[in-house]
Amino acid sequence: MADNIIIPVPVIAFPKPTKISWIVGSLMAPRYTIEGRITRKEFSNRQRFLVKGDFPASSESIYGNVTLYVDDVEIVTISISKLSKNM
C-alpha cells in the first residue's frame, strides 16, 4: 500500500496564489486542513500553476470528500474511495 495519496490540480491564476489549503472530511465529521504546495507548471506561461495535495493513505479520515481552497476560494471537491484488497 502506498504511503501517501498525491492529488495534482492545475490552476490558472494571476498573480500567483499565496494560500493553498485542502479541507478533509465529511460535513458530519471532524474536518482538518492540510496545507498544499503550489509550483509553476513547467514549460508554460506565468499564469499556470500546479497545486499538489499530499495525504497520508494510512489515515482513515482521508477517505471521503476533500476540498481544495486557493486564496480562500473553493476550487474543487473530490471524493477519495478506499479500494478493497480483493480488487
pLDDT in tens, 26-65: 665 555 566 667 777 666 667 788 888 887 777 776 778 8
Share of the chain above pLDDT 70, in %: 70
> Which residue type is seen at 24?
V
pLDDT of res. 87: 46
Average pLDDT of 12-30? 77
Q: Is the pLDDT of residue 67 over 80?
A: yes
Average pLDDT along the chain: 76
pLDDT of res. 58: 74
Architecture field, domain 4-80: Sandwich (2.60)
Q: Is the pLDDT of residue 86 over 70?
A: no
Q: Is 51 exposed, middle or buried (0-12, 13-18, 19+ CB in 10 A)?
A: buried
Q: Enumerate residues 6+ apart whose C-beta is below 8 A from 86.
A: none
Give the 3-state DSSP-derived string for 45-79, with helices as H, strands as E and coil as C: CCCEEEEEEEEECCCHHHCEEEEEEECCEEEEEEE
The pTM of the full predicted model, rounded to 2 decimals, is: 0.72
